[in-house]
């Protein structure tokens, strides 16, 4: 089978597409013929050697996949060859096949495409865990979503609305804000002029946002700390801007607010039963039409470098997906 490999840390162009051995299927595993793999910012960090968890060389990036079951281990119940499934694999998704523990897989709803399914595991899983478990977002609260045109941003906008919040979407271009509004945002803010704090306060009667979802970091984080409401919760999702900001702890005291870390991958491993339950809730929201995963750009597996560049340079709206041609639409 073919797989995209990282043999040394570097830019997307340093990766190679090669023939590799078929993965071995353990007794509790499922072998999946991949139809689509969604990209996430950790993929960019991983190949550059900047992610908090780095697999040994050579490895394939790609943390979430969708496809059909090819084979199952001896201890696996509930999945049979031909089932359409999706799930988080951590890494190894830029390939024609991958092995996943059965407990990390979910059945695809009939109305969900492979491309959509590949992009729901990390983005919607992260955003739902962040908003429901870490922030305890309440109906009627003001939710500010940064990076609202990207994959996790769109997911946070849709899930925030589904949970009853008033959603303020913030992004750097009109095109991204249009996508956020189409996903349900009540208000939008263009923060390219550096006026995020003042614009948030203007939309909240001077109080600030009750919950801030920040996958961007950098200099925007300081403005978030200055436009968070009393008893507010600032969710630290990631650092797409590249710089890891310092926390002004005096503002935590003055606002009586919380700065809350969101490490979805570690939580899903530590709390597998709760993770399964939460994802069933996400799928129910999809079935009801409350969420609709947005695939912004799709490329064949061979164009992995271009796809990674779209993501790393923040050109994409919604999810960037690589597809594996196996006869039939992805």
pTM of the model: 0.89
* Angle subtended at Cα 322 by Cα 124 and Cα 60, rounded to the nearest 5 degrees: 90
Asked if residues 38 and 119 have their Cβ atoms less than 8 Å apart, the reply is yes
pLDDT in the model for residue 156 = 97
Asked if residues 168 and 161 have their Cβ atoms less than 8 Å apart, the reply is no
Q: How far, CA to CA in Å, does 253 sit from each of 67, 247, 257, 306, 323?
A: 48, 12, 7, 44, 48
Q: How far, CA to CA in Å, does 270 sit from each of 70, 260, 274?
A: 28, 18, 9
- DSSP sequence for 93-130: -SBSEEEEEGGGEEEPPTT--HHHHHTTHHHHHHHHII
With tokens 């390939």, the residue in question is 95
pLDDT in the model for residue 317 = 87
Express each pLDDT in 249-277 by its tens digit. Answer: 999 999 999 999 999 988 988 998 999 99
pLDDT in the model for residue 328 = 47
pLDDT < 50 stretches in the chain: 328-329
Helix (H) or strand (E) holding 251: helix 249-255
Express each pLDDT in 175-204 by its tens digit. Answer: 999 999 999 999 999 999 989 999 999 999
């Amino acid at each position: 089978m073919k797989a995209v490999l990282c043999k040394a840390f570097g830019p997307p162009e340093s990766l190679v597409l090669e023939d590799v051995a078929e993965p071995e299927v353990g007794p509790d595993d499922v072998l999946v013929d991949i139809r689509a793999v969604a990209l996430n910012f950790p993929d960019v960090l991983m190949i550059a050697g900047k992610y908090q968890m780095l697999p040994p060389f050579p490895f394939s990036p790609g943390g979430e996949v969708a496809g059909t079951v090819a084979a199952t281990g001896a201890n696996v119940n509930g999945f049979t060859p031909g089932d359409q499934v999706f799930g988080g694999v951590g890494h190894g998704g830029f390939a024609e096949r991958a092995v996943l523990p059965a407990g990390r897989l979910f059945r695809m709803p009939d109305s969900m495409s492979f491309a959509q399914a590949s992009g729901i595991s990390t983005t919607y899983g992260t955003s739902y865990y962040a908003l429901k478990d870490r922030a305890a977002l309440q109906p009627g609260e003001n939710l500010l979503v940064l990076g609202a045109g990207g994959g996790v941003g769109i997911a946070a906008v849709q899930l925030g609305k589904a949970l009853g919040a008033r959603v303020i979407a913030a992004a750097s271009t009109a095109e991204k804000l249009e996508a956020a509004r189409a996903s349900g945002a009540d208000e939008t803010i263009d923060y390219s002029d550096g006026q995020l704090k003042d614009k948030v306060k203007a939309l909240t009667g001077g109080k600030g946002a009750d919950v801030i979802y920040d996958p961007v970091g950098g200099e925007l984080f300081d403005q978030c700390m200055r436009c968070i409401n009393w008893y507010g919760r600032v969710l630290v999702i990631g650092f797409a801007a590249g710089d890891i900001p310092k926390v002004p702890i005096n503002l935590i005291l003055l606002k009586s607010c919380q700065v809350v870390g969101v490490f979805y991958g570690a939580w899903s491993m530590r709390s597998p039963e709760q993770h399964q339950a939460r994802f069933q809730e996400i799928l129910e929201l999809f079935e009801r039409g409350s969420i609709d995963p947005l695939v912004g750009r799709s490329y064949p597996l061979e164009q992995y470098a271009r796809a990674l560049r779209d993501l790393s340079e923040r050109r994409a709206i919604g999810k960037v997906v690589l597809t594996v041609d196996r006869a039939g639409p992805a």
